Structure 1
């Protein structure tokens, strides 16, 4: 794996070492040939490139030297010239059927043997594997899609010439954000997306979101991941002020230069707490507010019946997420996929945990993970170690002020006439122990009556009746809820932003707090 600068350095060394066979793995032939042409000019060696559309050309002068466009004709031309001249290099960029032992791969094999005797070099640009006996005659090199640094150059090269011709509102931070969004796309894909945006006659800050959506369409069918459609107009989070404040600082790190301080991009957060308090909603909120695509990883869908199948599917899913970066990866109820299982004699879960931890630790892609858990006691302890996730938040039952904010949020969303101030305060008291989903359900019952009977039938008494009709989980299963809260007091940061000693009706001393 190599970016353009690393690729160019490695290829230069191979050319100078006269490696007889070089297989270059890349889907971008044009970028590879650009580097080859630069090297041909820098080290002044004769390099010829063959394609099915142009035959063989001198890569420095772009002049044709052999009109035979077939691969066999190109190889014969290479053999003929290498028998007469030393240190020639031939690049073939449209060769198929070289994965196995066949006529084409053996023809190239004979050509490589000839190049060994004459100090020549045969390069093949391909996206497939190479016949093992052929590959053992040389070396392999990979050119990745443009990283953020290279993509920033691509973005500026595309946009800068149009300054003065069309209104361009982008500042340096916008160029960096665009490069972040477009990273892992091919150069031509990025150029096409940018050209499409500028074709409307302007380039505004809002177009950054359009770039993200355009990239999302290219990665819409991702192996192992489910694309989650979100409507930003319907997403809002009441309460959880500490979590929202922390997220705003993490967003800044997406475009910040972290290499000098040896920091990796934000890895994400683990949300634990009481069911129904907004953990899953937070994943959608992050993606919507950051204008990033949201993908959901479902461990149940990647479980396979054969040995190693589950681990391979999980690896492919993480690789797909890296390619789609920047994005938000939502892992809902993570304990159900990675919980220790005494009956798992095959060790599949253990290996999946190890693979997940390795990816969390080593991947440098800008994939922001939002993992949620209800029963965190089932999670392996190594997943909770500091450094796996950037932060561990506890989402508790909403405090009085948070309940008031949530009630007002759903009243406004459902277009209901608000209750009196006195009744609203009474609803806050009635809803002691309610989760966010309980509050939503109570307001939804009022909205249903508004649809059936009309807004004129909505009064304070109906609000009270609907709220009194809800029996929250904190009352039906108080022991379970208290156990979850006890765990959160010791190990997690309150998502509300309050310290535990400041949370009403909580006798716990202050433990962890958010650092902003």
Structure 2
């Protein structure tokens, strides 16, 4: 049952029970008022009077919209309501966002007296508001929370809108496109969704590619919040080298991510935790996934989440995760997750509470938010974060082997030098780049690109490129103990992100199971 149908059912029962005051909490006044009008239009209530007050139109008959009196003030509407409650039974008056009723003030007490008067003669006061009601009012009645449209409701809104415009403009969307569009628009008000659809129609046609554009509209609607920022994707971000196993796994998850799961017990993918050697493409993988899946990418900055006051960090994380749910479907990137959720030396307990809050959301959220978390020091993470069932999978990203380095060198050579590298040069660079991470290869070839920019393409001789590589010192050479410790952990506890090693057990040298993710033109 959708939220609208469930809320309508509750509202209908409260009106039937003649609850003296009914609070309808919603940020969508038009949609909430439509729900109240639908309940009032039930045939069994045909003889019962319903009025509605808004600041713009004053007091009117809810069904016919005919004015009830000339006085459009709130005071006049309340006096009218008091008169009706005192002279007739089962009258209902609806007030749309009348005043600030969130605390004990004159307006709240006036409404409370009105509710008591209604209760004496089986009447009801309905308050449509986007703020909580004063506890003194809440105790006198019942409340209904009308959330934003879910995917099913949003689908109906889109289909109805497109049906009204068939024959007016060319519409290329299929039923599946409409359902995907509904998934994109979940989390925004119905009125905003209609405005977005109207914007598409206004350009003269509704094309297939417009489904993906909905993410841009949604992003503009939400703007930016502390701790959660939109990451702009570049055209080259979806080009990947290496990471064969990870890419195959992601291909299967993409099908589930975009599938219609109604009528099944399946839930959308939770995400993936990537651990491994620094500089081998863990962070860039989030961009690659978002670009290839054509989903917006948001970065959760755990450093910005931390607050100075008790409960502030938890509140900010809850707000950020709630926003991620509202902007879904999306990819949520958490870089170096151990820095925010490790908490081994945290005496305040904040990190432990953040871990619990994050894991609860990861376990219970049914929104299409695919989390890509990365970690360089996975040993500092709490064990419960690594347990099977938290993330969908744990992958280890290792140093690139010779085959991966060949692919990476070709990508970055073409990107920065803007030439096709000679086969003999590539063979020599593969040997010189033993122990290099993808970032080391990129840095070396970026320097070669700078040389070409300054001196021209003809000036770049093979000896210059070889010299740049020979003078590049990767982390595996400057800090070999740390790198080997990371690799030893990953071999035993995570799935290799790349292709299997050709010679397992052949030692711990660079040819043993290296993995990498890079991006090229």
* TM band (smaller chain): over 0.9
Contact 1:180 1:255 in 2 (8 A): no
Residue 226 of structure 2 contacts residue 304 of structure 2 at CA under 8 Å; is this kept in 1? no
Q: Is the 8 A contact 2:436 2:476 kept in 1?
A: yes
Give CA deviations for 1:69-107 in whole Å, capped at 9, x if unaligned: 222221211111111221122111121221122221111
Q: Over aligned residues, Cα RMSD in angstroms?
A: 2.1
Note if contact 1:223-1:320 (Cα within 8 Å) is conserved in structure 2.
no
**Is there any run of 5+ residues in structure 1 with no aligned partner, and where?**
511-516
* CA distance in 2: counterparts of 1:469 and 1:416, whole angstroms: 22
2:33 maps to what in 1? 33
**Structure 2 CA distance, aligned partners of 1:340 and 1:310?**
13
Alignment of 1:380-399 (within 5 A): 380-399=382-401
Instruction: Decide which moves more: 487-496 or 442-451.
Output: 487-496
Match of 1:50 among 50, 53, 77: 53
User: After TM superposition, what 4+ stretches of structure 1 lie above 4 angstroms from structure 2?
Assistant: 500-510
Please tell me whether the aligned partners of residues 224 and 316 of structure 1 are also in contact (alpha carbons under 8 angstroms). Answer: no
Which residue is 2:409 aligned to? 407
CA apart distance, 1:481: 1.4
Task: Show the counterpart of 2:518.
Answer: none
Residues 1:84 and 2:87 aligned together? yes
Deviations 1:334-360 (A, max 9, x none): 001111333x22211111111111111
Q: Secondary structure at the match of 2:357?
A: helix
1:305, 1:427 → 2: CA distance?
A: 50
- How far residue 459 of structure 1 moved from its aligned partner, in angstroms, is 2.6
Task: Pick the aligned partner of 1:447 from 439, 442, 449.
Answer: 449
| Counterpart Cα distance in 1 of 2:18 and 2:391 | 46
State the 1:506 CA deviation: 6.0
Q: State the shift of 1:305 in Å.
A: 1.7
> Take 1:376 and 1:477, find their aligned partners in 2: how far apart are those partners?
18
**CA separation in 2, counterparts of 1:346 and 1:430?**
49
User: Equivalent of 1:226, from 216, 225, 229?
Assistant: 229
* 1:125 paired residue among 125, 128, 134: 128
- Contact 1:258–1:264 (CA under 8 A) maintained in structure 2: yes
Measure, in 1, the Cα distance between the counterparts of 2:489 and 2:38: 60
**Alignment partners' CA distance in 2, 1:444 and 1:263:** 45
**3-state DSSP of counterpart to 1:48:** strand
Alpha-carbon distance in 1 for matches of 2:165, 2:369:
32
Whether the 8 Å contact between 2:2 and 2:153 is mirrored in structure 1 is no
Alignment of 1:437 onto 2:434? no
Q: CA deviation at 1:193?
A: 0.8
* Preserved CA contact (<8 Å) 1:2 1:143: no
What residue in structure 1 maps to residue 331 of structure 2? 328
**Equivalence for 1:258:** 261
- Where does the alignment leave 5 or more consecutive residues of structure 2 unmatched? 514-521
**Preserved CA contact (<8 Å) 2:59 2:67:** yes
Measure the CA separation in 1 of the matches of 2:98 and 2:177: 40
- For 1:21 and 1:105, locate their aligned partners in 2 and report how far apart those are by CA, in whole Å: 12
Partner of 2:281: 278
Q: Secondary structure of 1:269's match?
A: strand
**Counterpart residue number, 1:244:** 247
SS of aligned partner of 2:68: strand
Counterpart of 1:145 (choices 120, 135, 148) is 148
CA change 1:81–1:288 in 2 (3 A) is same
How far residue 503 of structure 1 moved from its aligned partner, in angstroms, is: 6.6
Give, in whole Å, the separation in 2 of the partners of 1:500 and 1:79: 82
Counterpart Cα distance in 2 of 1:246 and 1:202: 36
- Specify the alignment match of 1:297 in structure 2: 300
Mean Cα deviation higher: 358-367 or 283-292: 283-292
* 8 A contact 2:238–2:289 mirrored in 1: no
Distance between the aligned counterparts of 2:453 and 2:107, measured in 1? 72
Asked whether 1:363 is paired with 2:365, we answer: yes
Q: 1:59 aligns with which of 48, 52, 62?
A: 62
2:308 alignment partner, SS class: coil
Deviation at 1:190, TM superposition (A): 0.7
Instruction: Name the structure 1 match of 2:270.
Output: 267
For residue 422 of structure 1, what is the aligned residue in structure 2? 424
Report the Cα distance in structure 1 between the residues aligned to 2:50 and 2:393, rounded to whole angstroms: 53
CA shift in 2, pair 1:2/1:108, >3 Å: farther
- State the distance in 1 between where 2:477 and 2:352 align: 36
Contact 1:334–1:372 at 8 Å: present in 2 too?
A: yes
